[in-house]
Amino acid sequence: MFSEDVGTDPVCTEAFAVRTCNETFLITVPTAVLFTNEVLLFVNEHRNGWYGTASYFWARTIVELPLCLAVSVGYGLIAYHLSNQINDTSRAGKYVGVLCLASLTAQGIGLLIGTLAHSKANLANVMSVGVYLFNLLLCGFFAPLDNLPPAISWAQYLSFSKQTYELEMYVIYGSDRCPDGLVSKALIILDIQDYSATELNLYILIAHLVLVRITAFFFLVCKANHYKLEQLIYKLKVLMRCCASRCGGSSRLVEDTV
């Protein structure tokens, strides 16, 4: 893949699409399989009162953060320079930054899959492949997203690979790369010339990163406390009633004061 001259060929973008999907897949699967085996051990230790769910989850996240970032930075720098890109430190830094966000999001998806699989490594593998194929089909390269039916067009925003791919293309072929205000042919083909749309992709990718981590933490809390779906629904109803009663009580207090 690194031998392709994608730096001087503006329409040779498949290398970056495949690299992005492969990197996220290689991060998601090992994380999901390893964390699947750790969940059972954590549940037993949590039952013995050794530590809480929050301390375990966030401590594990912080410990794995340097390794994940180191792999992403090394991979990104090698991919950028060996693909014959222009020697621009700012552009290379932005490209590596996008890869780091994508890697952390993929790691969060692996934690979520590992929590849901719960000591079932085969199930974690199947779920990881399913997530990989979903992101691959909706990344915007292999199939035009404009041709999607309106009923499922919203699904493209659930694929973080789409945001990653478009951000990478804009960082590499945009940002005034062409002289005299011209636009690169790659951006015209991919229809990602608008900077505001690119900025929106960045916000969506960050939202993916945050929501995936929070969702993984939520399901880990449910596993640690042996909550079932019926119990969760009941607790949510109780919480909503408490909030409604407090809001009602505060409004009545304001009316009495007035």
Q: Mean pLDDT, 10 residues at a time, over the chain (258 residues)?
A: 45 62 79 84 82 86 89 85 79 87 89 83 83 77 68 77 81 70 62 68 89 89 70 68 67 41
Cβ contact 33:121 at 8 Å: yes
Q: What pLDDT, on a 0 to 100 scale, did the predictor assign at position 233?
A: 65
The span from the CA of 201 to the CA of 145, in Å, is 15
Q: What pLDDT, on a 0 to 100 scale, did the predictor assign at position 207?
A: 92
The span from the CA of 38 to the CA of 255, in Å, is 54
Q: What pLDDT, on a 0 to 100 scale, did the predictor assign at position 159?
A: 80
Q: What pLDDT, on a 0 to 100 scale, did the predictor assign at position 186?
A: 63
Q: What pLDDT, on a 0 to 100 scale, did the predictor assign at position 51?
A: 81
The span from the CA of 215 to the CA of 219, in Å, is 6
The span from the CA of 233 to the CA of 239, in Å, is 10
Radius of gyration of the chain (CA): 22
Neighbours of 1 (CB within 10 A): 13
| φ/ψ of residue 25, rounded to 5 | -65, -40
What angle separates helix 160-173 from helix 195-224, to the nearest 10 degrees?
A: 150
The span from the CA of 139 to the CA of 120, in Å, is 28
